[in-house]
Homo-oligomer: A and B are copies of this chain.
Amino acid sequence: MRVFNFAAGPAALPLEVLEQVRGELTDWQGSGASVMEVSHRSKPFLAVAREAERLLRELLAVPESYKVLFVQGGATGQFAAVPLNLARADSAVDYLNTGHWSKKAIGEARRLAGKVSIVADEGASRYTTVPAAETLRLTPGAAYVHYTPNETIGGVEFPYVPDTAGVPLVADMSSTILSRPLEVSKFGLIYAGAQKNIGPAGLTVVIVREELTGKSRPGTPAVWDYKGIAEAGSMLNTPPTFAWYCAGLVFRWLRAQGGLGAVAARNRAKAELLYQAIDGSGFYSNPVARECRSWMNVPFTLATPSLDETFVAEARRAGLANLEGHRSVGGMRASLYNAMPLEGVQALVAFMKEFERRHG
């Protein structure tokens, strides 16, 4: 029995993908071995790796002038790799602070970049807002501007892409990549941990404008030097082959879903359904300003917090799993990544109404 899995990441994967993985787990493509057991440099695996890149480029319409890299270390690794690759030790860099993951990125930049300016901080709203586009005061000559388009914990999402007037824009898209079409050319660099909309944890995707590579600081670890990784086709060392293979299957599934336009329409409908249920209730609430509510991560609280545990337990019995809020904020959180079907959100909304009727 499969549940509707609202985990924030590692998160639900499409059942069709998991079933294909299972079907060929001990004998992949008639090789007599698992895909986990073959060399990353073997022809069959190289075909998988290249197809995954090709599909990702197709889905996101990545321009030829961008490199697509498959690396390890997660977004937290990229918190370090970004300043090491894009900034000199004395460079000024700009960061927008919209919550938990922004702060983590800023913390690492403070250790590794020369001068870190926080050009927006939404602390006054308790990180339930994003800065208005016209209020950003960027540092002239900054090496880059970094932001978090979707805050997984706060459930806050930028409804626009900041205009940085030519300064490379760097985005941690871990929890929003592939949820809708994207204008890649507005970005200098995009990175994303795989474990939300791409595949299993342990794979990180980096999409970087080629002209930004080749400038890494002396002392940058080789496995994080963008130019070296690109030249090696992301096989500078053994990549996480199984996760890369799974990512390719997810990309193929996304194409079969109709591509990101169709996926975006479904994601919008899922999020609207849940936010309407929350807003239309006197029992549930979401603190985020409406214009910047996340499609992917919907935190909500109960009017009676002492019922949190009951809610989680009853939801679990109803086949709705992993709704606990992040340990730093409590309450509930429903993550609605691509692999969550509309039926899952409908079931959640029905459960919430019934729960409110009984306990509200």
Q: Interface residues, chain A, CB within 8 Å of chain B? A: 1-3, 5, 7-13, 15, 18-19, 21-22, 25-27, 31-34, 36-42, 72-77, 79-81, 84, 107-108, 111-112, 193, 195, 200-203, 218-219, 221-224, 236-243, 246, 319, 321-322, 327
- Contact across chains for B319 and A32 when beta carbons are under 8 A apart: yes
Across the interface, name the chain B residue whose C-beta is closest to A84. B221
- Identify whether the interface residues of A are mostly helix, strand, loop, or mixed: loop
- Contact across chains for A201 and B11 when beta carbons are under 8 A apart: no
- Contact across chains for A242 and B200 when beta carbons are under 8 A apart: yes
- Contact across chains for B32 and A5 when beta carbons are under 8 A apart: yes
- Contact across chains for A37 and B13 when beta carbons are under 8 A apart: yes
Residue among B22, B111, B319 making CB contact with A26, cutoff 8 Å = B22
Q: A13-B36, A112-B221 are in contact. List 19 more A-B contacts (CB 8 A).
A: A2-B32, A3-B31, A5-B32, A8-B39, A10-B38, A13-B37, A18-B25, A18-B26, A33-B322, A36-B200, A40-B201, A72-B73, A72-B202, A74-B238, A76-B237, A79-B222, A80-B222, A202-B240, A240-B240
- Contact across chains for A10 and B202 when beta carbons are under 8 A apart: no
Q: Which residues of B contact A76 (CB under 8 A)?
A: 222-223, 236-237
- Contact across chains for B32 and A1 when beta carbons are under 8 A apart: yes
Q: Which residues of B contact A33 (CB under 8 A)?
A: 2-3, 5, 7, 12, 321-322
Docked complex Cα distance between A202 and B7 (Å): 22
Sample (25) of A-B pairs whose CB atoms are under 8 Å apart: A2-B33, A5-B32, A9-B39, A9-B238, A10-B37, A10-B38, A12-B37, A15-B26, A22-B25, A39-B322, A72-B72, A76-B237, A81-B221, A108-B221, A193-B237, A195-B241, A200-B240, A200-B241, A201-B240, A202-B202, A202-B203, A202-B239, A219-B219, A221-B221, A242-B242
Docked complex Cα distance between A133 and B351 (Å): 70
- Contact across chains for B201 and A242 when beta carbons are under 8 A apart: yes
Q: Which residues of B contact A9 (CB under 8 A)?
A: 39, 238
Given A10-B37, A12-B37; A202-B32 close (CB under 8 Å)? no
Q: Which residues of B contact A221 (CB under 8 A)?
A: 73, 77, 79-81, 84, 108, 112, 221, 224
- Contact across chains for B73 and A322 when beta carbons are under 8 A apart: no
Docked complex Cα distance between A193 and B238 (Å): 9
Docked complex Cα distance between A84 and B219 (Å): 9
Docked complex Cα distance between A12 and B203 (Å): 21
Residue among B75, B77, B238, B246 making CB contact with A201, cutoff 8 Å = B238
Nearest first, the 4 closest Cβ-Cβ pairs linking A and B are A202-B240, A3-B32, A80-B221, A76-B237
Docked complex Cα distance between A31 and B73 (Å): 27
Across the interface, name the chain B residue whose C-beta is closest to A8. B39
Say how far A190's CB is from chain B's closest CB, in angstroms.
18
Q: Which residues of B contact A79 (CB under 8 A)?
A: 221-222
Say how far A11's CB is from chain B's closest CB, in angstroms.
6
> Quick one: which of A19, A80, A218 has the most chain B CB within 10 A?
A80
> Quick one: which of A72, A222, A319 has the most chain B CB within 10 A?
A72
Docked complex Cα distance between A39 and B11 (Å): 7
Q: Which residues of B contact A73 (CB under 8 A)?
A: 72-73, 77, 221, 223
Docked complex Cα distance between A38 and B3 (Å): 12
Q: Which residues of B contact A36 (CB under 8 A)?
A: 10, 13, 18, 200-201, 246
